[in-house]
Amino acid sequence: MKKLFAILFVLVFLGALGGSGYLLYRRAHKPPVVYRVETPVRTTILKKAVATGAVVPRQEVAIKPQVSGILDQLEVEPGTLVRSGDLVARVRVVPNMVSLNAAQSRVERAKIALDQATADHTRYQALREEGTVSQAQYQQFEIALRNATEELAAARDNLDIVERGTTGRLASAANTLVRATVSGMILEVPVEIGRSVIEANTFNDGTTIATVADMDDMIFKGRVDESEVGKIRPGMHLLVRIGAIEAAVFDATLEHIAPKGVEESGAIQFEIRAAVAPRPDLFLRANYSANADIVLDRRDDVLAIDESLLQFADGEPFVEVEVGEQRFERRPVRLGLSDGIRVEILSGLDEGTRIKQPNTDLTAVNGAGGGGRRAG
């Protein structure tokens, strides 16, 4: 039994001795600390405010009928290009019975008056030829005949309008023909053939048959937070990015900033509008969701570094630059414009300067036995 304990004691002692020796070896052969380094780059830095919204036509015009009735024919569909005055639809009038009876009665009275005027004219024409009546008396009946003829024509036109909404003499200008009031593209046709439509009046906006917009005159309509609105002004440049069109950027110019904010989810938002410059290679559809970067300040072709390379001592910025193989020294820098990721370097660094990345010991990443490899 004593022999067994002795053997165990020897084994434990040898294990402890071996572990101590391994630790001493590791400490004596610890690999050097290796840091990543970066160099400044020349780039463009933009300081931006961000607005969210959509790209919409500057003006959408609703086309409505001038008379109430049944939509009898549609000449357009969404996407159709139209000019002002082009035919959009035809409306078939459903006559009102009271108006129809009155119009028919007017025609009958006009016929009776014309028959009487014709008879009087014929009689006095014969008397004029006999010399019984004077020329002045005869002209009175001649004028009465013309008035009666015109009244019958007007009564018949009125009956046509009541029955069909138009007349044969004014077919091209009939109220039943719905025409485009502006040039552009048909965006929407919310009605179908056979549906009842009504004209606009004091009590009703009327039925919209189609909407038209100039798709070459688009604007970005969005909102900015109250913390950013004080930094922007009309005339500023915007970069509009469309979510549905990858990598597409449209230039825009800020036109309007709302004088009054609106509360949304506990934050005050201000509406803005900006004119979007069209691109011949891309078609902008109405109501595309979009984000706009409002360029508050810009620096082109400047020397810049990642902000993560900066360190501070007593509030003053500095970086650690390589002066030898993995040997670094502090160097103060003067900073310019920042976009939150990169910052402009006004002085203190050159393009070839190698800058230490803080807290990037590659030895810890590669392992104590791996030796590490310096990244340039």
CATH number, residue 236: 2.40.30.170
Q: Which helix (H) or strand (E) holds 106?
A: helix 97-130
Residues 232 and 289 in one domain: yes
- Find the largest Cα–Cα distance for the chain: 173
Number of separate domains in the chain? 4
Tens of pLDDT, residue by residue over 251-269, are: 999 999 999 999 988 899 9
The CATH number assigned to the domain holding 313 equals: 2.40.420.20
Residues 178 and 78 in one domain: yes
Residue 342 CA neighbour count, 13 Å, CB half: 20
Range of the domain at 73: 62-93+171-213
The CATH number assigned to the domain holding 132 equals: 1.10.287.470
Say whether 12 sits in a helix, a strand or coil: helix
Domain boundary residue, one of 183, 213, 243: 213
Residues 287 and 221 in one domain: yes
Q: Could you tell me which residue, 303 or 123, shows the higher pLDDT?
A: 303
Residues 181 and 85 in one domain: yes
Residues 108 and 160 in one domain: yes
Residues 291 and 328 in one domain: no
Lowest mean pLDDT among 45-59, 159-173, 232-246, 296-310: 159-173
Question: Tokens 């009665």 identify what position?
Answer: 105
- Tell whether 371 is covered by a domain: no
φ, ψ of residue 209 to 5 degrees: the values are -90, -35
Q: Do 218 and 287 form a contact (C-beta atoms < 8 A)?
A: no
pLDDT tops 90 at residue 14: no
Residues 268 and 311 in one domain: no
Cα gap 270→249, rounded to integer Å: 23
Residues in Cβ contact with 124 at an 8 Å cutoff, skipping those fewer than 6 apart: 133, 137, 138, 141
Lowest mean pLDDT among 89-93, 139-143, 225-229, 317-321: 139-143
Lowest mean pLDDT among 2-16, 26-40, 242-256, 284-298: 2-16
pLDDT tops 90 at residue 176: no
Domain boundary residue, one of 298, 321, 351: 298
Length of the chain (residues): 376
φ, ψ of residue 103 to 5 degrees: the values are -65, -40
Buried b (16+ CB within 10 A) or exposed e, 80-103: bebeeeeebbbbebebeeeeeeeb
φ, ψ of residue 334 to 5 degrees: the values are -105, 125
> How far out from the chain centre does Cα 17 lie?
76
Q: Do 274 and 240 form a contact (C-beta atoms < 8 A)?
A: yes
Asked whether the whole model's pTM tops 0.75, one would answer no
Cα gap 79→188, rounded to integer Å: 8
The CA dihedral of 325, 328, 332, 333, to the nearest 10 degrees, is 40
Give the chain's mean pLDDT. Answer: 82
Residue type, 308: S
Residues 123 and 183 in one domain: no
- Tell whether 4 is covered by a domain: no
Residues 306 and 199 in one domain: no
Q: Do 219 and 207 form a contact (C-beta atoms < 8 A)?
A: no
